[in-house]
Structure 1
Amino acid sequence: MNRSYTPVRPFNPKRPGALVGVIMSVSEYLGALYGSIAEKREVGSYGPCAECGGTVTSTEINPDRMIVPELSLKNGAVLLWAGTDCAPVPRIRQLATMLGIDYLRPLEEQDRQFISVLLYGYDKEPVSFVHNKRLRTDYYRGCVSDLQTMIDARTTSKGNLRMISFFSKHSECPACVGTGMSKGVLDIHISGYTLAEAYKLQLPEMLSFIKNLPQSMDAHEFEIIGPIVSHLEPMLLYLSTIGLRRLPLALVGKHMFGKLCET
């Protein structure tokens, strides 16, 4: 197996890092899994779609990707900042307290208007919060405004570029069905699923699919993807445990995940 497909370090559910990073890693590992098998079967290689180059996003923000209503604020409902220690995290926590939103309950069980507040801001009164041991008071601008600021700044940060790509609108390339992957990878089936179909599985089904690979595929093929599978399992279990139902479809991007923060 190509060494670039092998995960560098094991996933630690006690220190998962940014939630979007976990989601995108799962997406990329799934792509690498199918790419490895495509190369083994000599039907393709792990690479970008020949038509779109693997980049099928625009700079137009997709708000539907930014909030996960089935999650609580504690578990990462605000995907843009989930798992970071950036200033918007305590700002949002305090805003939730001001508006009577339970930090521990899924957003879908509470006032749905709060989702619009998270996306587009709250200008009725400023929010006072503590960040880095310093008291701050300002208005909450919303996730859409925060991301637009990154876009307008023409950031070169790999982490920010990857984040912008994730939260941008994706055009569905007919050749790769929006996966960004080469045709050879898309055409193969593993345990009955194509890559595009695997991406769309609900998390319990995806976890079952990954866990059953040792029994459902050729032993020599599984030996190739074993390291990837061993990293996918704990990631999928973690995402399922916090309440995520399915992956927000993410392309296999060319930008490595880096540090993202707003002060």
Structure 2
Amino acid sequence: PECGSKLSKGAVAEGEAVVWRCPNPDCPAQIHGRIEHWCGRGAMDIEGCGEVLAAQLVKTGLVRDVADLYKLTLAQVSKLERMGEQSARNFLDGVAASKSRDAWRLLFGLGILHVGAGVAKSLGRAFATVDDVFAARVDQLAEVEDVGDVIAQSITRWYAEDRNRKLIERLRQAGLNFRSSLYQPAAALGPFAGKTFVLTGTLPSMTREEATAKIEALGGKVTNSVSKKTDFVLAGADAGSKLDKAQKLGLKVLDQAEFLKMLSSGA
């Protein structure tokens, strides 16, 4: 590892493959990776923070964890190599905008082992806030769709560390949004609750991200692969093999017009 620590060997959970890891959370390479992941498009989507800038922020000591991003000043950032004042302003505007991102993005951005974007969204549907996720018992987390015992244990192990609890508190103090817009309380499930969609092809006037957001806002779930468990396949131009498989399985295939009609009718 970059920090010179001795690699440790061990399984993440019982029955899993043994892997080698750097045990030092303060390893510059680990910090760099966490910052880049946090800023990524799939997580907090902070424009302008790629590999090069993340490396500079860590190397100069300006950033030791993701909460430090929210303390950066224009004077500090504009002094970095290849970062003029306008580029620095754009980056800091992106940092400020990330404070309002949905809770699932924050959960994904934390880089908790096994918590990918899909799991983070499932947690966002099951819990109203980030605090509710970390307050939940292992058995409560394990009951959430796509979570299970291994991921539930990973979440509770992460939050059991004092440094991580302090990080969450610093993010709260920095003004980040902890509420989930995906949350679907049992008494107010959306019309797509329990329904699984697969998107394929190019829609005429809607991106996949926009269609996904509409489905999830109404309680539905979007997956990447077609199976017997799929309820609807939303197909656009050049749909390809997913559409072929859906037709072979006799699944309900929607075009954009039919999908919009479902949205307007509330089901």
TM-score by length of 2: 0.28
Q: Which has the higher helix share?
A: 2
TM-score by length of 1: 0.28
